A and B are shown apart, each in its own frame.
Chain A
């Protein structure tokens, strides 16, 4: 498979500059959390059935991109080191790199037959160079499928944004192209996450992050990704099944619990050791002075949940879900500030932040995007609608699928629980595991009995 010629061919590259000048050159420093995320990258792919782009050269959508990035000076700037050695963005309107590619398959064929490594070709994967002053940290790739259909890939360095910020940037682009006001304008304030002094109760937390920072990975195992789409009715049914143990479980907690327990079982002999799950949630609303969802930057929190192997092996799904649920509920603001303090404490001479380490890993990490679901604006509907699928360029033309990936993840793997195109409780789960384990997981009965639609998982 790896030697197969890619079906995606990039044929042109250009730079889109912001249409409105951002004014005099400013330096926007990064927070401690931003610095910590520096090793990773984000890659989102939005799939549309109808291509909203014309020739693109003289197209209003290029103009709308130019318009929206005028409101995000951090996105069009370039990374630079300040005097104290820390990173900042030099906001001087250098622009965003845009690639154009052709895919030799139709959209449906692609969703059916492509796998995770092929999907990588739909976004730009570039490591930050030593001298990033002419490197575009945000990159867009527009992939045209045969017979219409398009996939728009957005990639960026994780130092500048988390999945929430990247999604809202994309959604704002769609709003600008529809000539509508931006629903969640960006909020830039790196000092919003300046550590508050909290009593150092959370020694465990410090150890947890210290472990992450020390982890050295051996020869990297080949990872593969598969996408499982669960319908609204199935999730509803499952939640009902675990209702006894956990009456208020969210779909994230259910699916995190399910996948964690199944994956642990797969790992076999190690099941008598402690197994950890790293839960990544958004921290914007966690704070007493909550950050607006438009806060542009990293505002996430990693929290660890550990269980003995036999607990997961023998107990019911409901119990695991309950534990996950309690852990999520238990994350308080203090914990978040304790982490910020820990980062500050790692600072070196002159206030230079410690070099970044892999924040996603080494244990299995599960990302929650439940905060991207908001009450539906449709009158009379009690459904929750996702901000991710609200990125419509043509009115009412929602994306048929959205993928979210994190680059440079090593260790046990990554699970991203995303909203689906179907409203309500439906979810799409993207699982990245070592190749062999993933193949086994795709045959796992506990998961297959829920009748998931498999996407982008290669020919099966």
Chain B
């Protein structure tokens, strides 16, 4: 075989030398072709976060505690025990009197019609899309990909169609509306866009994350289902992503990692956040007592995948050694596995503001300090649980406080039904101006506040 090859090569050599002398032009052409192939193979897959905008509800829509309680009573749907339970949870929820509900919920009885839900979605999404596009002078026709996620409201035409209609997007825009995917769907939308941007070059994508409060009030008696009534508030976020080279210099962040974890195969996790009818047929979302345990398990699984990608080797070694020790010396199990110090990997943390207990548990599990969870707690207090958009309110907080510097890494952790835990790691690639108006700007100087254990009303 080698002889045949040599013979072939010598033949080509001879033929080339004899009949096709290699000219300088040809050499340059071939070199250029090779460089192009190399560039094509190693082309950047970077996803840049150009900017994002969170919905700022008008103050007239806020829900002071006294008002919430009064509406519970006036709706004539709950008995005294249910009202007392909701009041107790609300007082201890860590949610303040500035969080807002859509106008339909301010009616007596609350109006949960389709029309009102569409109105809520339109109100939130139009405001944030308008804000984001006008801030950067972007023509809606230049958006190539549009992804929305809203778990509990899925109208026809879809929410993306609503925005395409309202703003006039191009006819070949690639739109996807995600529904039913829970509070972690914001990260799922980002993940979807990341994959789409691998296939579609030179594209700009817009992600819209929100949850609809209007159609989802629970009118029954089951306590795990009443929690949702108390915790969720109006909110939404629009995120502009791009893989275009020209957007690199004006983008705020670059996506470093995105890790998705799904514990759905475990029954306990699958049933921990479940929309179902109660005994009397009233539909609500049930939050199980084991939720924190499930969330911790999901987080551990997520960081076992994320850790090696972001942690310095020293931490990875310590973690690995701790796992080995645990396997060999069972007594070490009493202390538990070493929790890597994530502060060595990240400067800022955005923990899903699902509730006070969730934030406390994650802060504890990750051995974080109080100030690391400040953005999460303050977002929960000011805006309530806005579902998938809460991570973006938290990032807005950090930006408005001027804490995010160029080179800083931000870790966003989202939890949601499934049970899912999705993480995104962003690196700040430009100097951010804290004076640029965002949803926190009007009152950032009043924060952080001391959140009372039991709020007054």
User: Using a CB–CB distance below 8 Å, which chain A residues touch chain B?
Assistant: 12-17, 19-21, 24-25, 57-58, 62-63, 65-67, 78, 92-95, 97, 134
Q: Tell which of A13, A20, A67 touches B107, judged by Cβ atoms closer than 8 Å.
A: A13
Question: Separation in Å of the B421 CB from the closest CB of chain A?
Answer: 35
Chain B residues with Cβ below 8 Å from A12 are 107
Chain A residues with Cβ below 8 Å from B348 are none
> A134–B59 contact, CB under 8 A?
no
Chain B residues with Cβ below 8 Å from A63 are 58, 60
Chain B residues with Cβ below 8 Å from A14 are 103, 106-108
Chain A residues with Cβ below 8 Å from B63 are 17
Chain A residues with Cβ below 8 Å from B73 are 134
**Cα(A14)–Cα(B74), bound, Å:** 11
**Cα(A340)–Cα(B41), bound, Å:** 92
> A92–B62 contact, CB under 8 A?
no
**Cα(A62)–Cα(B59), bound, Å:** 11
Chain A residues with Cβ below 8 Å from B74 are 134
> B97–A21 contact, CB under 8 A?
yes
- Which residues of B in the span 51-87 have a Cβ within 8 Å of any Cβ on A? 58-60, 62-67, 69-71, 73-74
Given known contacts A20-B59, A94-B66, is B97 in contact with A15 (CB within 8 Å)?
A: no
> B60–A25 contact, CB under 8 A?
no
Given known contacts A14-B107, A21-B97, A58-B123, is B70 in contact with A134 (CB within 8 Å)?
A: yes
Which single residue of chain A is at the shortest CB-CB distance from B58? A63
| B98 CB within 8 Å of chain A | yes
| B456 CB within 8 Å of chain A | yes
| B457 CB within 8 Å of chain A | yes
**Cα(A14)–Cα(B105), bound, Å:** 9
Which single residue of chain A is at the shortest CB-CB distance from B65? A92
> A19–B70 contact, CB under 8 A?
no
> A21–B64 contact, CB under 8 A?
yes
Question: Separation in Å of the B90 CB from the closest CB of chain A?
Answer: 13
Which single residue of chain A is at the shortest CB-CB distance from B111? A12
Number of interchain pairs (Cβ within 8 Å): 65
Which single residue of chain A is at the shortest CB-CB distance from B116? A57
20 further contact pairs, Cβ within 8 A, besides A19-B62, A92-B64: A12-B107, A14-B107, A14-B108, A15-B106, A15-B108, A16-B106, A17-B60, A17-B106, A19-B59, A20-B59, A24-B456, A25-B456, A57-B103, A58-B103, A92-B65, A93-B66, A93-B67, A94-B66, A94-B70, A95-B64
> B67–A94 contact, CB under 8 A?
yes
Question: Separation in Å of the B128 CB from the closest CB of chain A?
Answer: 16
- Which residues of B in the span 82-116 have a Cβ within 8 Å of any Cβ on A? 97-98, 103, 106-108
Which single residue of chain B is at the shortest CB-CB distance from A20? B59
Chain A residues with Cβ below 8 Å from B119 are 57
**Cα(A34)–Cα(B134), bound, Å:** 53
Bin chain B's interface residue count: 20 to 34
Question: Separation in Å of the A94 CB from the closest CB of chain B?
Answer: 4
**Cα(A97)–Cα(B107), bound, Å:** 10
**Cα(A65)–Cα(B60), bound, Å:** 9
**Cα(A92)–Cα(B457), bound, Å:** 6
**Cα(A376)–Cα(B6), bound, Å:** 112
Question: Separation in Å of the A144 CB from the closest CB of chain B?
Answer: 17
Given known contacts A14-B103, A15-B70, A134-B73, is B60 in contact with A93 (CB within 8 Å)?
A: no
> B66–A78 contact, CB under 8 A?
yes
**Cα(A21)–Cα(B66), bound, Å:** 12
Question: Separation in Å of the A93 CB from the closest CB of chain B?
Answer: 4
Pick from A12, A63, A93 the residue with the most CB of B within 10 Å: A93
Chain A residues with Cβ below 8 Å from B123 are 58
Which single residue of chain B is at the shortest CB-CB distance from A77? B66
Chain A residues with Cβ below 8 Å from B65 are 92
**Cα(A15)–Cα(B104), bound, Å:** 10
Given known contacts A21-B97, A92-B66, is B71 in contact with A15 (CB within 8 Å)?
A: yes
Chain A residues with Cβ below 8 Å from B69 are 134
Given known contacts A14-B103, A21-B97, A134-B70, is B60 in contact with A94 (CB within 8 Å)?
A: no
**Cα(A430)–Cα(B254), bound, Å:** 72
Given known contacts A24-B456, A58-B123, is B64 in contact with A16 (CB within 8 Å)?
A: no
- Which residues of B in the span 367-402 have a Cβ within 8 Å of any Cβ on A? none
Q: Tell which of B58, B107, B108 touches A19, judged by Cβ atoms closer than 8 Å.
A: B58
Which single residue of chain A is at the shortest CB-CB distance from B103? A57
> B70–A62 contact, CB under 8 A?
no
Given known contacts A92-B65, A93-B66, A134-B74, is B60 in contact with A66 (CB within 8 Å)?
A: yes
Question: Separation in Å of the B322 CB from the closest CB of chain A?
Answer: 48
Given known contacts A25-B457, A134-B74, is B67 in contact with A17 (CB within 8 Å)?
A: yes
Which single residue of chain A is at the shortest CB-CB distance from B62? A17
Question: Separation in Å of the A361 CB from the closest CB of chain B?
Answer: 33
Chain B residues with Cβ below 8 Å from A62 are 60
**Cα(A13)–Cα(B110), bound, Å:** 9
- Which residues of B in the span 167-193 have a Cβ within 8 Å of any Cβ on A? none
**Cα(A358)–Cα(B74), bound, Å:** 30
Question: Separation in Å of the B310 CB from the closest CB of chain A?
Answer: 41
Chain A residues with Cβ below 8 Å from B64 are 17, 21, 92-95
Q: Tell which of A19, A21, A24, A97 touches B60, judged by Cβ atoms closer than 8 Å.
A: A19
Pick from B73, B103, B106 the residue with the most CB of A within 10 Å: B106
Ordered by A's residue number, 14 sampled pairs between the chains whose C-beta atoms are within 8 Å are: A13-B107, A16-B60, A17-B60, A17-B62, A17-B106, A57-B103, A58-B123, A63-B60, A78-B66, A92-B64, A92-B457, A93-B66, A134-B70, A134-B74
Chain A residues with Cβ below 8 Å from B97 are 21, 93
Q: Tell which of A15, A66, A94 touches B59, judged by Cβ atoms closer than 8 Å.
A: A66
Question: Separation in Å of the A179 CB from the closest CB of chain B?
Answer: 15
**Cα(A28)–Cα(B307), bound, Å:** 57
> A15–B67 contact, CB under 8 A?
yes
Chain B residues with Cβ below 8 Å from A25 are 456-457
Question: Separation in Å of the B326 CB from the closest CB of chain A?
Answer: 50
Question: Separation in Å of the B116 CB from the closest CB of chain A?
Answer: 9
Question: Separation in Å of the A11 CB from the closest CB of chain B?
Answer: 11
Pick from A12, A62, A95 the residue with the most CB of B within 10 Å: A95
Which single residue of chain A is at the shortest CB-CB distance from B72? A134
Chain B residues with Cβ below 8 Å from A57 are 103, 119
**Cα(A134)–Cα(B78), bound, Å:** 15
**Cα(A95)–Cα(B71), bound, Å:** 11
